[in-house]
Amino acid sequence: MDNFWQTCSAQLELELTPQQFSAWIKPLIALDYEDGKLRIAAPNRFKLDWVKSQFASRITVLASQYWEAPTEVQFVLDPRNNLPKKPAVAPGAPSASGVASDPRNGSADAAPGAPPELFNIGNSPRREQSRVNTELTFDSFVTGKANQLARAAAIQVANNPGVSYNPLFFYGGVGLGKTHLIHAIGNQVMADQPGARIRYIHAEQYVRDVVTAYQRKGFDDFKHYYHSLDMLLIDDIQFFGGKSRTQEEFFYAFEALIAAKKQIIITSDTYPKEITGMDDRLISRFDSGLTVAIEPPELEMRVAILLKKAQSEGVTFSDDVAFFVAKHLRSNVRELEGALRKILAYSRFHGKDITIDVVKEALKDLLSVQNRQISVENIQKTVADFFNIKVADMYSKRRPANIARPRQIAMYLAKELTQKSLPEIGELFGGRDHTTVLHAVRKIALDRTKNPECNHELHVLEQTLKG
């Protein structure tokens, strides 16, 4: 229940203004969930009526998504508000149950509307608490040259958590299977040790947890929760970049877990030293275990993935069709999955067998993007002309700002407008490492959102390149 409410209120916090959130959502408590019925308590009749009229449908959608079943939401008055007042207790002091006191229990010094303890583990089954996706297993993970090392390390850690490689750090571009692999580890450990306290968390959610703990002065609960896990799976840790309070809290959790020989598995879009805005002491700790890259899948692996995913949808793809799709879509597995969904939807809707012609029709948009044939060479030339530098500077090792920035812009455009992978782009820019390209892509993407002049330049370049 705590997990659900944390997820639901984090989502609502994103959707509402801070005033709306703290006035209407923060005072609510998710009481229980049974047989598709979720009960939420409001502190008084006025709030109950307002929340019901304004937010019931959104909470219903979020709850139905969370439990993957239609859910009916009932709003009730908080039963604890009717309890006789207890003598004052210092907020956060342990009660007889050993749990920090809930300031809403009517004690004289309680802050009205303050939340219950944040990270109370509650009684839900360990599997639910873990947030591990049961579908992402080793069995459904296709292996090839691009990920065989990562998979081997993952299996080793799943067999000996806390012993072999700690932390285990996976890095690679988007949609290449990092998340899948850490869930697979979680699933295996959970099957072997059903009592283990495992937690999968996306780094953005961890940041939100820190913010919430900060706002609610709930760091004791936060620490208690994270430091007492048996295994922490943390995804996309690059989101910690520049967030010093989060990094500090994570550092303590990291030290506590490693000292207790509890396994930590981390993913990132780049290797530790390249994560921007990350504290050096964390980087050196990330490096202290095993760091493994996951590369973009090669052709045969893309074919194998398509065949396996089609099979799991109950559809048989001919090899011709699988090769056709895999040859044209080269960037990552997520893109392949998207293509597969489009093909299946198209063939079902039109009642047609899956042939190459049907695939061409179903993927018309995706393939036309491919066929625009904007080459990296073309991008380098256009950008060099635009900034009045030599094309050769695109490959050179020189780094003055008047050259480095156009080069980064060209790398960004190469990633945006071609199907080349990061290593392929790096190769075409004088044999640079893929992490350098990734850094450039992220930097320019960020500049673009912040700096209208940069956005305008990119717009002009894109229009020129697209003709």
**Phi and psi dihedrals of 137, rounded to 5?**
-120, 175
Q: Which DSSP string do the residues of 156-205 spell out, in sequence order?
A: HHHHSTTTSSSSEEEE-STTSSHHHHHHHHHHHHHHH-TT--EEEEEHHH
Contact pattern for ligand ATP over residues 325 through 364, marking x by CB under 6 A: --------xx--x---------------------------
Shortest reach from residue 214's CB to ligand ATP, in Å: 26
Which member of 3, 101, 130, 147 binds ligand ATP (CB under 6 A)? Answer: 147
Q: Give the residue, chosen from 132, 157, 176, 362, that forms a contact with ligand ATP under the rule CB under 6 A.
A: 176
Please, which residue, 337 or 427, has the CB nearer to ligand ATP? 337
Residue nearest to ligand ATP (CB): 177
| Integer Cα distance of 23 and 376 in angstroms | 52
CA 84 – CA 103 distance, rounded (Å): 14
Q: What is the smallest separation between the CB atom of 266 and ligand ATP, expressed in angstroms? A: 12
Using the rule CB under 6 A, which residue among 26, 178, 328, 432 binds ligand ATP? Answer: 178
Q: Which is nearer to ligand ATP, 180 or 328 (CB)?
A: 180
Say whether 218 counts as a known binding-site residue: no
DSSP structure string for 121-134: --SS-HHHHHT--T
Query: Which residues touch 446 (CB under 8 Å, ≥6 apart)?
Result: none
Pairwise CA distance, residues 417 & 465, whole Å: 9
According to the annotation, is 467 in a ligand binding site?
no
How many residues lie near ligand ATP (CB under 6 A)?
19
The reply on whether position 442 binds ligand ATP by CB under 6 A is no
Which of 116, 161, 177, 406 forms a contact with ligand ATP (CB under 6 A)? 177
Phi (first) and psi of residue 232, to 5 degrees = -115, 125
CB-based contact 175:333 (threshold 8 Å):
yes
* Contact indicator for 315, 354 with CB cutoff of 8 Å: yes
Q: Which is nearer to ligand ATP, 180 or 420 (CB)?
A: 180
Q: Which is nearer to ligand ATP, 170 or 222 (CB)?
A: 170
Minimum CB separation of residue 408 from ligand ATP in Å reads: 21
The Cβ of residue 155 has, within 10 Å, a number of other Cβ atoms equal to: 15
Q: Which residues are annotated as a binding site for ATP?
A: 175, 177-179
Which positions lie near ligand ATP, rule CB under 6 A? Answer: 136, 140-142, 147, 172, 174-180, 236, 269, 305, 333-334, 337
